[in-house]
Structure 1
Amino acid sequence: MQRPRFELPEALVMEILSKLPVKSLTRFNCVCKYWCSSFQTPYFISNNYHNNLNLLLSLCGGNTFQRYFSQLSNEKYQNYIVKQNIHLPFFKHDRPSVYGACHGLLCLLDPSKDKAAIWNPSTREFKILPPSSIQRPPYFSPFDETYLTLDDVEFNHAAFGFDSKTDDYKVIRFVTLTFVNSEEEYPHPHFMYQVELYSLRSNSWKEIPSPDYKPTEKTLGNNYVDGICYWKTGTGAYLDFRGLILSFDMGNEKFSILPIPEFVGSFPEYYVNLLVFNRSLGAIVYPKERIDTSFDLWVTSEGVWTKQFNIKSISGVVHLLGFGKNGDLFLTDTNDEVLLFDASTQELKELEINTYLDHYRFDISLHAYLESLVRINGIQEIEKHVIRQPARDASNEY
């Protein structure tokens, strides 16, 4: 006797599929045209990218001093391992930095060149952004009574986010123009600043009014929360220095200034690193002049800052990298080894991460992103640029 055929409703099938990782969904594209088209609907994409958090280590070093990215996974043995190492061919001779993550997409930019890209590490799609078409204004020096020569252009303190009003992804970057008197033997530099905004929808850059304040430091991992980007800035000289937070709304394209919270204390004596923690703006605060350093994490909600936890004195820690899953804090020591601090147990351990640059590496940063099917009308990575070199006891599968 033939058993009756049982079919699940399509809505339930899509709900089940939305829980799967991007790797599986990519394979299922060939099952049928309906599945393939359904995977690209805004509803399905939004359901999918909220599920799977991934971590990406950005490292520079080796014999060629090139930038590599190591995807981390803690699915096996409850320990962080390298899932794969990736070298991006479109930055072959450059050293790009990651400036933010949004909806599973990462923005990469080389500060020394007019070169940027948007990258989806889950689908391996990337889009190289067009060069800026914005005019660089001349600089007239009243002292020299002449126009100066443009000597250098730097692209720093970028951010990447989403404008929900126009359904558009945008990149903002601060441009520093250096002018000199070319007739002087030892010319004194003069600086001018511009701000550029890229729209993925129009695939073009435009200049927007520059704020009175400039970002002073790069943030930890990501500085974008719910349509707004944040940077640390300040005003005044050393003893009179006052810390501030510069923000930019991707929707109305306006800058604002927020005060650094009073809990910081005497600002020159403390480091304050902005970061995203549990989808909220956070600040890691720690003293500058101590060998064994303790950390306080503060998070803001609707303008109110609350202390999340304190990490007691940790000896030998040099740099903070950021947070992973379940509040795990990543750090580096004096040997550039990556450490993991478990806030719940107050335990610190060396991860012994096996990366492509084990013998010599520097400029390490950590970036958290959600797996995503979002398409950016780009091109596909070449498989040969994925270097499979997992840590000990890890599977070679990807």
Structure 2
Amino acid sequence: MSQESSAAAGRSPIRWIPSLYFVQGMQFFVVMLIAGLMFKNMGVANDQIARWTGLLGLAWAIKPLWSPFLELARSKKLIVVAMQFTGAAGLGLMALALQLPMWFAASIGVLFVLAYASATHDIACDGLYMAALDSKSQAAYAGWQGAFFNASKFLTLGGLLVLAGHLETRYGVFNAWSIIFVLLAILLALLAAYNAYALPGTLNTETADISAAGVARTLREVIGDFLRKPGIWLAILFIVLFRFAEGQVQTIGPLFLIEARDKGGLGLSTEQVGGVYGTVGTAAFLVGSILGGYFTSWLSLKRAMPVLILMMAVPNVTFYYLSVSLPQDMLHISAAVAVEMFGYGFGFVGMILYIMQAVAPGKFQTAHYALGSGVMQLGFIFSKTISGDIQVAMGYQSFFLWTIACGVPALVLMFFVKIPGAQTAEAAPAAGDAAPAASR
């Protein structure tokens, strides 16, 4: 039994799983969701927001490339705690960066540090979870893992955006967000201190009996085996096309809600956007994800895939409707956001299960799942990065119509890729363990 497993034996996982995965989610959502909305309120153009936040997302896409080397540090707890304190320091620096004359460049620099610290934290965090718990316990606490990862979304989108909206009216946009990042830094530092105490294992590293050269050889073998899988290039294309429309609409959609009405947007305040996405939006996403999983398990991935791809188009259609109708009452807008997020959650299950069942199986199943997830994130980042330039060139209505068309290639390619049928889908409940990954 490993040192971490031994330490965990006398410590209930309930004492550390909630705080561990709450931190994981909080760091991710601050970089990938909150930063874009903040920049929008600061007057940054959509193409700049999409381009830079897209590049920030590369951290989570390429993390499989350095994840094997973290095995050289035998104390996963040491990495987790170090990255949490690094994140707290980074959030504090964000508060300072927003007060500088070159605030945008400084903010992007700090966000890059936060992104790579968070991605490294993810690797060690999941590794600690697997090392500290046996298979039965991993399954038993998977629900807690996903619940607290998504609970951080309620905090960031619901609580923080609402608070930011209040502070903006009193102190101005830049001062308000500096206050927000100071509060986040304090919260993360407190959670890091608690996790240093509560996480299983020790902060001391041991002498590793594996070498960096050996890890590099294994990594080359894993990647080579992945690229030699039958039909892998068609599968990679399918993964990229599956997320091509999603990456664009999930980037521009929230910005459209904030955009002034005379520029084609809905003109909502920061507080209103936070209230909608932090409550009905997040709840609809969770319900959609759960129902999408049960639906696919019942029907099999192969038969469910057409419906799942069509459900991924629901957000695009919803935003096109909003850009045409431009409703003003919050009940109408909230209902539309709920429909959007339900469709997103329901359909996204298809890609997680496709990677698990069609791409990952083989000699290096876990590593190939990580590589498949990395390809999925790269597809998302590519579409996210170009979305701002397309929207600026086309306007909101034409842009959302364009995203609907972007979903068609994946629907066509579905008939040419190998998708597991009913026999494989019976094992699909394990996909519930990937709840945090699905949100990313």
> Highest CA radius of gyration, 1 or 2?
1
| Higher relative helix content | 2
Q: TM-score, normalised by structure 1?
A: 0.23
- Name the structure where strand makes up a greater proportion of residues: 1
Which of structures 1 and 2 has the larger relative contact order (alpha carbons within 8 angstroms, sep 6+)?
2
